[in-house]
A and B are shown apart, each in its own frame.
Chain A
């Protein structure tokens, strides 16, 4: 398993736990705002990096070779 996948799983679990904790326990508002501001985007980012499809190994090099330079 590559390091990006491991990092994403850890971030996904942490952000989910933080959001669920705020749903169950009544923390101070500033804590909830902090968790929401960082936790919601982090949850979506880590989930997306896990769900996105990866290029086939033989196509991988071609995909990252150069930036988009027009049609």
Chain B
């Protein structure tokens, strides 16, 4: 297939599947809290609807940055789709994508001129703690498989079985990242409702629709990477089931867990990351895992 067609198809699949999964996530949360909740397609409809909503740029914003940061958000997740589902390339590039995402959170808040956005931008720096367990998980995948390349990791798992069985604590560390990035997460300190919508507060109308598009793609890419590097070669049905199951689990967790204060959130993430890190080291060196 033509490479550009492959990329376009994967971006569209990522947007549609990501939107529906995020809609499912809200539905699960609502049902757990004994509310009917919005329809599953609501997130998708919102994303498209905002493209036609009235949009104005507040006087206080730094306009090129205010618009540019939304463009960069979409750009980094298109890179995520290319590195993951399309090219099966290096995990390090994906780690770079997450690093840039953190910069987007920070700069989106600071470019808005809103006090809520600015406070969220400060919290984005604190919440960089999320990326530490991700980096540790990637290191363990490398130690185990001898490669950072997603294609090689898939090949390794076809020969030796899924990595979730050999380095489960590394998988748990990656799962922590998924919980952190899921909507209404206990660790989502940058989007705490005390800050209205955090760094997104001043991005409304079309720009919010564009951000919702990128967030849908981001959710799909994150689940795809997790399933691919820990659950071995999967067919499309396997990916679909895996993504729905993870969305259900995160929905249950987020519906029953209140958001933590910034210091508790960071300490919890670092503690879980440290336990999983040393646990995996012990498992490898004591021969618990081959």
Contact = CB atoms under 8 A, between A and B. Distances in A.
B55 interface: yes
Interface of A: 19, 22-23, 26, 29, 32-33, 35-38, 40-42, 44-45, 47-49, 51-55, 60, 63-70
Nearest to B83: A33
Given A40-B7, A51-B51, 19 more contacts: A22-B2, A26-B2, A32-B3, A32-B4, A36-B4, A36-B78, A37-B75, A40-B11, A44-B74, A44-B213, A51-B52, A51-B206, A52-B51, A52-B53, A52-B54, A52-B205, A53-B55, A65-B59, A68-B116
Contact of B114 (A47, A55, A68): A68
A55 B56 contact: yes
A67 B112 contact: yes
Q: Which 4 A-B pairs have the closest CB atoms?
A: A41-B74, A52-B206, A63-B56, A22-B4
Contact of B206 (A23, A49, A69): A49
Judged by DSSP, the binding face of A is helix
B185 to A, nearest CB: 23
Contact of B82 (A36, A47, A54, A68): A36
Given A23-B5, A69-B114, A64 B52 contact: no
Nearest to A35: B4
